Amino acid sequence: MHGYKAYSGVTLLATVSASGPTPTVLQSGVPITGISGAQGSLTYYKITVTSGIPNLTITTSGGTGDVDLYVEFGSQPSTSSYGYRSWTNTASEIVQVATPTAGDWYITLHGYAAYSGVTLTGTLGLPPAPARVLAASAQPNLYKAKE
């Protein structure tokens, strides 16, 4: 405070709030569709992990543009402070956390470029199975000629 003249009996009262924007809650396996954002935008989500969950998977898919994915346990991540991130030059991102700590996991979507039509999904459970390709000779013989 700066006074132009001498003063007394003045009280200064300030209120400080440490809370930021309220994140949208994700339910395991329930996609949020149609997400859009401008370049530089930040959109916030969270998912709660219960004890004993073997894997946490967060994905963005579909849509157009370039959205990056940041994930952190216990607090909202930023583009400079995060636990995990995925930042390709597309709208398809994935973060997988093996044996995640029980509690709230926070997710930030950052519009590296404008994006639209993106789907965000958080899944608790086993990690996605890798694609299996069977050789033609390994395919079962469903119809066998009579011998």
Q: What per-residue confidence (pLDDT) applies to 83? A: 97
**Cα–Cα distance for residue pair 86/107, rounded to 1 Å:** 11
**Cα–Cα distance for residue pair 44/110, rounded to 1 Å:** 9
pTM of the predicted model as reported, rounded to 2 decimal places: 0.75
Give per-residue pLDDT as tens, 38-83. Answer: 999 999 999 999 999 999 999 999 999 999 999 999 999 999 999 9
Q: Contact 44/24 with Cβ under 8 angstroms?
A: yes
Is residue 92 helix, strand or coil? Answer: coil
Among residues 50, 72, 78, 63, the alpha carbon closest in space to that of 120 is found at 63
Among residues 108, 73, 104, 63, the alpha carbon closest in space to that of 87 is found at 108
The structural domains of the chain, ordered by start, are 24-124 (2.60.120.380)
Question: Does residue 132 or residue 66 have the better pLDDT?
Answer: 66
State which H helix or E strand residue 76 sits in.
none
Q: Write out the two tokens for 106.
A: 């926070």
Among residues 57, 115, 63, the alpha carbon closest in space to that of 86 is found at 57
